A and B are shown apart, each in its own frame.
Chain A
Amino acid sequence: MPLNRDALWYKDAIIYQVHVRTFHDSNGDGIGDFQGLEGKLDYLQELGTNAIWLMPFFPSPLRDDGYDIADYNAVHESYGTLADFRKFLGSAHDRGIRVIIEMVLNHTSDQHPWFQESRSSQDNPRRDWYVWSDTDNRYKGARIIFLDTETSNWAWDPISKSFYWHRFFGHQPDLNYDNPAVREQMWNVMKFWLEMGVDGFRLDAVPYLVEREGTNCENLPETHAVLKELRRKLDEQFPGRMLLAEANQWPADLRPYFGDGDEFHMAFHFPLMPRMFMGLKLEDRKPITEILQQTPEIPPSCQWCLFLRNHDELTLEMVTDMERDYMYDTYAESKTMRLNLGIRRRLAPLLGNDRRRIELMNGMLMSLPGTPIIYYGDEIGMGDNISLGDRNGVRTPMQWNGGTNGGFSTAAPEHLCAPLIQDPVYGYPAVNVLRQNASEHLFLNWMRSIIMVRGSTGVFGRGSTEFLYPANHRILAYVRQLGNDAVLVVNNLSSTAQAVELDLRRYKGNILIEMFGKNMFPRVGDLPYLLTMGPYQFYWFRLRRI
């Protein structure tokens, strides 16, 4: 299946986020690799995904799971070689699956040769590649992001006897984007991978590229200028490739990252995600509709990226204090589940392993305006291991079958890169791909089904969105429309059956066709359209004027 040539392919994508390290081990060393991942491409194709987002796979001391890069132009030896990557990339493209790779622009590992050179002397040509200072009193307006581990954004370097700037861990010095040589070098890094054929980058931590005194050092105009320059070069030299922004910001602050369609193609909608969980727990659509009302329009060529869970904690930075307290109390009753300003849990455990709630959340993920991202393992309802530190509890090996090491690796268990989930409910003997493949009623096949239904129309990826506001606040309803194709989505956020009257007069005369079973519902007339909905039920209706 060749790749489609549509430059807006990312609008129709179903992105699957995967960590090479924990997906499949082909050589039995206990660590996932590119050959292992390539061997599972058929699985991803059957699932219906048409894009893969790879977490960092570069050489790294792995003190931050690869987000501390020591060499941008190579593959970590545990995961294979550049040749392995090229082969994987070709196989993915052969299946119509695009590949988006991680690119950590903001910082490197302190083991990166650039930093080693930079710290070696004040006169080194690369001294100015990082942000150095004689004092740790600069940029006091910048918040500390990793509150649980860091006390300052400055770290003392005993070798060069000065402080260096880091917005994340102390072992991740920030690159100095005021230096043209750094900007040029990072474009060269991107070009290296683009020439190999990657389809896009997920650019990590983009709000923090440039620092200025008297600001919070986030979202600065100078940062946007750097990003626009990268985009200009991308469009000129590699048209059809895509940039995805990781900027954990409020919608109004996110909007500039799209520019006039000349900066990022996509950006994660961070504030929406926790509010979906909140709306579900409150059984009230208000948090969801409220944040979407605050979300500004974006240029036609741009797209939001939606997700339920990912490799990080369920971030609660973009919520109010009251909302954060509520989320902690309702989704992370144990303090060990909390990390920084977030909750380090996977989707299924967060939702009490309630199939109806998991389906509803995925239903919203697939139907709200944006491109959905599925975090590996969530399509089979994998659990987490909160006894593992940091965010490693949600980064355990993929569970392929109920056999040795869950089919992830043939290595001895003590040699695995991370322990498999073993508990009776979420452990690999109970939750695995092989078992779920065996029954059309299990969750994996439901996921395949909803992805297929989503893909049957372009409205979800590209259509407009009109929210209906039925008086029953437990119902979240909206109409997605693209040309003459319109889909009515109705979600019951409540744990109980609900009746709802929808004002569909605009669509008078249409009949409703339920998209999963393709059954007809009564024609829309002058009266409010009455629907009764079971607990956590959702409907997708195609509106057809026949």
Chain B
Amino acid sequence: MKLAEETFLTDDFLRQLINVGEVDILVGLPTHNNAKTIGSIVQTIRSGILRGFPRERAVIINADGGSRDSTPELVTGVSIDDVRPASNLYALRTLHSISTKYASSPASGAALRTILAAAELLRAKACVVMSPESVNIEPEWLSKFLRPIYDDGFDLVTPTYRRHKFEGLLITNLLYPMTRALYGLRIREAYPPEFGFSGRLGSQFLGHNVWSDGTDGAGVELRFTLDAIAGGYLIGQSFLGEKAHVERHAADLVPALRQTVGVLFSALEPDFPVWSAVAGSQPAPTTGADHEVLLQPLRVNRKRLREMFSTGVAELESVFQTILSPSTLAELQRIARLGEEDFHYPAELWVRTVYEFAASYRKSVISRDHIIQALAPLFRGRVFTFLMENRNASAEDVENNIEGLCLEFERLKPYLLQLWTSRE
């Protein structure tokens, strides 16, 4: 019998957790070199706790990925106790702010795992993970995430934002419509940078085998959401306001696809009994707006998107032959030859493309990572069409277009089921 297990929590962190003891509210803060922003974010978190939960036992847990810029010190500096009192807001009780270094390099999965472990050990009732990049965070965000859990029995609360119509294109064109179609719940941000969860959901996920699959845990937040839906947990959304814009370069697309589409595709196999039994979709209970769209002009290099699509379709033909059906590939090759004015990657073809990729991923027709990489040029083509379609669209038009795509994913779901269950 093996009694001695290797632990991922340090003795020093355990000692700190012992001192904190049982809590009602836990705020997890994964960081890595966030010194420029973390100070004000933590102060806002503290204000949110003191305003929203003045009587509750609360702790801020910083899981740091080896910062070299004093980020952990900035986090722990906001503890409120009998030595360091609150400066502006009155604190009824001690508010601990503790930090641990989980690895020598940043990995969101390891950070979340550390936070989940702390939540379980502290028997936290309601938890929230906050992003160190959310520079527009408001104190009220804490209550928006935590109140539904603490008061109303929700297990997961994901955010909704006011976004520019061309922001979050991977979410609007793939992640949201596909998770909604497959899992039956309309969660706008299934891969959220910040989210609230119950202690029981956290504990359940801590025991998940996702931690031992050999990956670095990237995209595990999406898996967390999918697990919650598949497990029948009570899920809601809270509107936070404008999403702080974080610059993403084209070079980020493949890693982003790995963390989102790769995780989604991976989840489909174990979750097949769940999603195969779901038809249609239901809205998730939402506090505040479901989402909002900003329309101000945004400069996007559409031409390059189309070029990368066309080049990809040509160069990756042999790869696509193993992934896509002949008819889908032929259609893609046809539109790849169209000029900019005529180019159109229709919703139905996009959905078929994604579903065929998902089925191929399951069957590992080639390396799974290559499958994900191969999706990148096609996604760019779809984005080009989305940008063109919505170039002059109103907020309502944009939403209608997204809703149309979602319905297309739902309508073609039997096609995915057919691919999934075929013996080929």
Contacts and interface: CB of A to CB of B under 8 A. Distances in A.
Interface in A278-298: 278, 282-287, 289-290, 293
B390 interface: no
B54 interface: yes
A499 B20 CA distance: 11
A516 interface: no
A470 B20 CA distance: 11
Given A286-B81, A289-B82, A473-B81, A326 B92 contact: yes
Nearest to A320: B90
Interface residues of B, number: 19
Contacts, number: 55
A265 B54 CA distance: 38
Interface in B11-54: 15-16, 18-19, 21-22, 54
A469 B81 CA distance: 9
A494 B21 contact: yes
Main secondary structure of the interface of A (DSSP, over half): mixed
Contacts of B18: 472, 499
B231 interface: no
A494 to B, nearest CB: 7
B21 A285 contact: no
B55 interface: yes
Given A471-B16, A472-B18, A474-B21, A293 B92 contact: no
B67 interface: no
Contacts of A278: 92
B96 interface: yes
Contacts of B93: 282, 284, 286-287, 473
Contacts of B22: 496
Given A286-B81, A286-B82, A290-B85, A470 B94 contact: no
A284 B85 contact: no
Nearest to A467: B82
A473 B90 contact: no
A471 B19 contact: yes
Contacts of A467: 82
A467 B83 CA distance: 11
Interface string B154-195: 000000000000000000000000000000000000000000
A546 interface: no
Interface in A451-500: 467, 469-474, 494, 496, 498-500
A326 B93 CA distance: 11
Given A494-B21, A498-B21, A469 B82 contact: yes
Of listed A473, A474, A499, residue having the most chain B CB within 10 A: A473
Of listed B18, B19, B96, residue having the most chain A CB within 10 A: B19
Given A284-B93, A285-B82, A286-B81, A326 B21 contact: no
Contacts of A498: 21
B91 interface: yes
Nearest to B94: A473
B90 to A, nearest CB: 6
Contact of B82 (A293, A323, A499, A500): A293
A290 B83 CA distance: 8
Contacts of A159: none
A284 B83 contact: no
Contacts of A469: 81-83
A499 B19 CA distance: 8
A421 to B, nearest CB: 32
Nearest to B83: A469
A474 B81 CA distance: 11
Contacts of A473: 19, 21, 81-82, 93-94, 96
Contact of B55 (A285, A326, A474): A326
B92 to A, nearest CB: 6
Contacts of B83: 469
Interface string B402-420: 0000000000000000000
Contacts of A471: 15-16, 19
Nearest to A292: B82
Contacts of B21: 472-474, 494, 496, 498
Interface string A296-335: 0000000000000000000000001011001000000000
A286 B96 contact: no
A322 B19 contact: no
Contacts of A293: 82
A341 to B, nearest CB: 18
Nearest to B89: A322
A470 to B, nearest CB: 7
A133 B90 CA distance: 42
A469 B84 CA distance: 11
21 contacts: A282-B55, A282-B93, A284-B57, A286-B81, A286-B92, A320-B90, A322-B92, A323-B92, A326-B92, A467-B82, A469-B82, A469-B83, A470-B19, A471-B19, A472-B18, A473-B81, A474-B21, A496-B22, A499-B18, A500-B19, A501-B15
Given A278-B92, A286-B91, A286-B92, 11 more contacts: A282-B93, A283-B57, A284-B57, A286-B81, A320-B90, A322-B92, A469-B81, A469-B82, A471-B15, A472-B18, A473-B82
A-B residue pairs, 9 tightest by C-beta: A471-B19, A289-B82, A473-B94, A284-B93, A472-B19, A282-B93, A286-B94, A284-B94, A286-B82
Interface of B: 15-16, 18-19, 21-22, 54-55, 57, 81-83, 85, 90-94, 96
Interface of A: 278, 282-287, 289-290, 293, 320, 322-323, 326, 467, 469-474, 494, 496, 498-501
